[in-house]
């Protein structure tokens, strides 16, 4: 039995990770980039580092990082990293809600 799976905080984090994975898949599909492309690993590592900084900043500011917020922040971080590598990112992929926008601007320069 998966005793961890009963813990509400573990279940919540699993949900967040799943939606983050879905966001990666969706963005790569939109960009017509294979998940096996050699650049993807580096992008994911950079996006994760930015996301972790955003998570810390969100906690510091008292911003709740629920599944929706976490996915939006991670997707934006990933889009910014890929865009910095010279790939045009669709505007809707970088669209952010006002409450997330300031947080991301502080963390992702």
Residue boundaries of the structural domains of the chain? 4-107
C-alpha span between 3 and 21 (Å, rounded)? 23
Q: Sort 72 into a burial class: Cβ within 10 Å, 0-12 / 13-18 / 19+.
A: buried
Q: Give, rounded to a whole angstrom, the gap between the first and last alpha carbons of the chain.
A: 44
Sorting pLDDT into bands at 50, 70 and 90, what band is 1? low
Query: Per-residue pLDDT tens for 3-61?
Result: 766 788 888 888 888 988 998 999 999 999 999 999 999 999 999 999 898 888 888 88
Q: Which of 52, 100, 106 is nearest to 73 (CA)?
A: 100
pLDDT in tens, 74-106: 888 899 899 999 999 987 777 666 566 676 666
Question: Per the confidence metrics, is the pTM higher than 0.85?
Answer: no
């Amino acid at each position: 039995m998966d005793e961890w799976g009963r813990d509400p905080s573990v279940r919540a984090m699993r949900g967040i990770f799943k939606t983050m994975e879905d966001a990666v898949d969706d963005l790569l599909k939109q960009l017509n980039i294979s998940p096996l492309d050699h650049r993807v690993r580096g992008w994911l590592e950079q996006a994760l580092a930015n996301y972790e900084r955003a998570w810390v900043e969100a906690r510091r500011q008292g911003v709740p990082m629920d599944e929706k917020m976490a996915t939006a922040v991670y997707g934006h971080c990933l889009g910014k990293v890929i865009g910095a590598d010279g790939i045009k990112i669709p505007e809707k992929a970088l669209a952010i809600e006002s409450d997330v926008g300031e947080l991301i601007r502080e963390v992702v320069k």
